[in-house]
């Protein structure tokens, strides 16, 4: 009986599933997104922006994994100074890589904003 009373409002407020798509389109348009699939941009600028985003993200993940690898080497060095110095070098190089990637991402966004390049999207 409790289950029936708990689910009764859901049954009475049920509506056509097609109207959900209209609500989502209205929400997307209200947020400033293009909801017309025919007008989607597929130009060279859009593809280049997507490639740049993926490339920068992938490099960030690689350098983060490099830092974690250096930390693992340091933790398993067991007092061996040679392994500790190798781990420090790996961590230092990974941090430098992350800084370079973040700088590249910042320059990417700055150039897009400064020149108002259409088609590209920020990171």
Give the pLDDT confidence of 19-57 residue by residue, as tens digits.
555 676 777 777 777 666 655 555 666 777 778 888 888
In a domain, 29, yes or no: no
Cα–Cα distance measured from residue 71 to residue 63, given in angstroms and rounded to the nearest whole number: 12
In a domain, 22, yes or no: no
In a domain, 83, yes or no: yes
In a domain, 11, yes or no: no
Whether residue 106 is predicted with pLDDT greater than 70 in this model: the reply is: yes
Sign of the C-alpha dihedral computed for residues 75, 76, 78 and 83 taken in this order = negative
Structural domains counted in the chain: 1
Average pLDDT, the chain: 78
pLDDT confidence of residue 83? 94
Range of the domain at 46: 42-115
Q: Cα separations (Å) of 106 from 49, 53, 123?
A: 14, 12, 9
In a domain, 94, yes or no: yes
In a domain, 36, yes or no: no
Whether residue 120 is predicted with pLDDT greater than 80 in this model: the reply is: no
In a domain, 2, yes or no: no
In a domain, 14, yes or no: no
For the segment 62-81, the average pLDDT, to the nearest whole number, is: 94
| pTM (predicted TM-score) | 0.58
pLDDT confidence of residue 101? 92
Helix-helix angle 81-115:44-75, to 10 degrees = 160
């Amino acid at each position: 009986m409790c289950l029936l009373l708990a689910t009764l409002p859901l049954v009475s407020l049920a509506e056509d599933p097609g109207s959900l798509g209209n609500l989502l389109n209205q929400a997307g348009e209200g947020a400033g997104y293009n909801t017309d699939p025919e007008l989607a941009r597929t130009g060279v600028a859009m593809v280049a922006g997507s490639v740049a985003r993926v490339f920068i993200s992938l490099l960030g993940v690689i350098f983060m994994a490099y830092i974690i690898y250096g930390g693992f080497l340091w933790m398993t060095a067991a007092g061996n100074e040679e392994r500790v110095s190798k781990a420090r070098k790996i961590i230092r190089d990974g941090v430098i890589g992350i800084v370079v990637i973040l700088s590249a991402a910042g320059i990417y966004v700055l150039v897009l904003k400064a020149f108002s390049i259409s088609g590209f999207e920020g990171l």
